[in-house]
Structure 1
């Protein structure tokens, strides 16, 4: 464990806050010692708010623009086979994390969350000594601090399993090399913080617009539901204790019963609006201009002004989208046509994935190659087999590439990071309730609400499904509805399905343009560098080796690493 000096913690927190462009931008641009911060209620409240900066709050993390959790799972591959991407594909998480420690989902998250925990522990230790005035709301400040500490610990345990619980401020000379607590003990600690926070946080309805993005009762309840869902899942519930599933279902139902949230009528812009009835908690950010790396370097096709287009959905992911009649494409009665592969598909395919010949940004997307009579090959604007910056799969990610963008210098839009949205709560409820009692009417209702969304309009699930059949439909629904939103990788891990899903052959699409302008489509196996390794022990991340080495033998590494 890292030992942080008190002065360093305060300086870091205030500096991070002073550099922020959103509601966190409320602190002076200087660092101050402890007595100056906690004897001033204004500075103390600013210090508390600064802990928000340590939340995991963007989609691209494994290696900045080269890798996301989507690319680690079956959702996508990276068209740019940087060495760090190859490490991920080969399951060499240690090598990857040590190469890009400042950016990735392993070392960076371990360090980042414990830094946030240090700030929240300091704030909680000073709550009783700060001379609060009537202007501040110390109960709310404590509630936010407890919520954030709970969130930091959840981000750790969902990756690593049980971790050391640091629940107080340690002196400079104290030994902070602590052993790991069990996963269940960590969950109990998280839940205790959230139970307290719920009594102190405001309702979403009472949150001023200027404070959008801060914790509310709804956010605390949504986090509880997610924590309990993970705790009930196979990775953390080997005996399949049904009472854990019942607790998870009840927690999700508590969010639904608030009556505060509802599904947004449109799915196509689910990440791209300034506010929504569906948003329970989002990362507040200003609009991203078209020079933002997440767009031009990661999502946008080079043919449309992008730089690399490295976010390439796989054919494995595309095949999960049902036909509009609600049948899987593998069903021989579904009406699926291999030469019209995108016709009559779940509309969420169009809103999530860019594919060949799609009408987009006032033109047709060109992901084809054409064999000429003279032996040369012509390529469409959005694909070139001889250039590694173009898509490896003949797909790009529309969810990260908002419609407003036309070229590199035009347009700006929101690309929100959603901590919680209502559709996830409905999916969490359906999964937990199905596991607890089977596919009752409430399970159908939760899933069918999502499928009936205005611009989705998919048919309801067929009646009479067994628990096992419903489980598969719910998992498929999560993959489609929450595509590229930082859920799929962790869902696969908590289900313990990595070898069955991630380690399967990874496919793309080959598109040949014919002389008459038609297209011939064929599913193709991607090259060996795009194939992924996943063994059973990889359902948990390795604890960073640097932490193991300096713990004096107290930190025990996860099995297999």
Structure 2
């Protein structure tokens, strides 16, 4: 009954022009009816600036996630069809994998799932999104994440600092417009309930159609087509295994950086995912002759009238700093469970240590 009452909230709460705005306000806005449970830890700092355990006058230069190439490729195109690097590269359209056009030319189009831009900072994304008047309008300088770019510098080439993987985290950071704002850490929100309900229908009843109904409610909120229509070759209306894989992918796109993915992989015992090497992205700016140059645009050749760069070379690279132990030695099944403190075991009231510890 609760599920169906909440449906009305999800479908009527936000109807802005921008899908990014709808997604953002669903989890970030403290008055959002989509937030079922959140945590607010009161804390100050040396500058008496933070409100809820967040140095919210600063940026992410001190601590942050660095999203991987594998994660970014999980997000589909803006119409909901899956992104495929090899196909996009063969079509000569890697320059369009994040955006087409520029703000300066008044023809900027974001080409991927709106949730990508709300979760990951990508090359060419404008730094501001107006969320004060429901417009969802972009403005500001674009992020320069190529080698030598204004923002990334040598981060990706050296695999260090904020843009070590060629990307940075956007979730809960947002940008300068969120500085000194009230922050809440969401532990449960409505889209999580929808996707959990879809998973229950699929696993308990083998109800592919029912599961797709609830998955598509989440996708519809950000303008994506129906999952089964966008992936016809996977036979999602009848193939349970394929639908489960898509459901887990949908969860990480919707709930990225919200402590969901790790536990999804743990509860399904996905050692294959843990053992898979991960990659970052090196981006190289090209001049008008197609040569690589390591020149920033903002506070660089923009001052001489150069247009915003839109042509690049791309190289995916294996992450080595720090290389994961299980990439080389395998994932031990004992890691599916955490150990109890030995001091607790030693109390002798019958608590048994988890296997392997």
TM-score w.r.t. length of structure 2? 0.71
Aligned position for 2:59: 300
Unaligned runs of 5+ in 2: 15-21, 100-110, 129-139, 230-234, 289-308
Question: Could you report, residue by residue, the CA deviation over 1:316-338 in whole angstroms, capped at 9, with x for unpaired residues?
Answer: 11111012232222387777933
Question: RMSD over aligned Cα, in angstroms?
Answer: 3.0
Aligned position for 2:31: 275
TM-score w.r.t. length of structure 1? 0.46
What is the SS of the residue equivalent to 1:521?
Answer: strand
Structure 1 residues 483 and 532, CA gap change in structure 2 (3 angstroms): farther
User: Aligned partners of 1:387 and 1:473: how far apart in 2?
Assistant: 30
Is 1:428 aligned to 2:196, yes or no? yes
Q: 1:191-270 residue pairs with structure 2 within 5 A?
A: 254-259=1-6, 262-263=9-10, 264-265=13-14, 266-270=22-26
Is 1:397 aligned to 2:148, yes or no? no
Cα distance, 1:417 vs structure 2: 1.5
The equivalent position to 1:380 in structure 2, one of 147, 150, 153, is 150
Aligned position for 1:446: 214
Question: Could you report, residue by residue, the CA deviation over 1:359-402 in whole angstroms, capped at 9, with x for unpaired residues?
Answer: 11321112221xxxxxxxx4533343369433221211111212
User: Aligned partners of 2:94 and 2:277: how far apart in 1?
Assistant: 19
What is the SS of the residue equivalent to 2:314?
Answer: strand
Aligned position for 2:68: 314
Cα distance, 1:294 vs structure 2: 4.3
What is the SS of the residue equivalent to 1:458?
Answer: coil
What is the SS of the residue equivalent to 1:511?
Answer: strand
Question: Could you report, residue by residue, the CA deviation over 1:400-425 in whole angstroms, capped at 9, with x for unpaired residues?
Answer: 2123448xxxx322331123211111
User: Aligned partners of 2:74 and 2:160: how far apart in 1?
Assistant: 26
Aligned position for 1:487: 260
Is 1:535 aligned to 2:291, yes or no? no
Question: Could you report, residue by residue, the CA deviation over 1:176-225 in whole angstroms, capped at 9, with x for unpaired residues?
Answer: xxxxxxxxxxxxxxxxxxxxxxxxxxxxxxxxxxxxxxxxxxxxxxxxxx
What is the SS of the residue equivalent to 1:489?
Answer: helix
Structure 1 residues 300 and 383, CA gap change in structure 2 (3 angstroms): farther
What is the SS of the residue equivalent to 1:281?
Answer: strand
Count of residue pairs brought into register by the alignment: 286
Structure 1 residues 475 and 283, CA gap change in structure 2 (3 angstroms): same
What is the SS of the residue equivalent to 1:271?
Answer: helix
The equivalent position to 2:226 in structure 1, one of 429, 449, 460, is 460
> Which structure has the highest helix share of the two?
1
Aligned position for 1:554: 350
User: Aligned partners of 1:444 and 1:427: how far apart in 2?
Assistant: 9
Aligned position for 1:522: 315
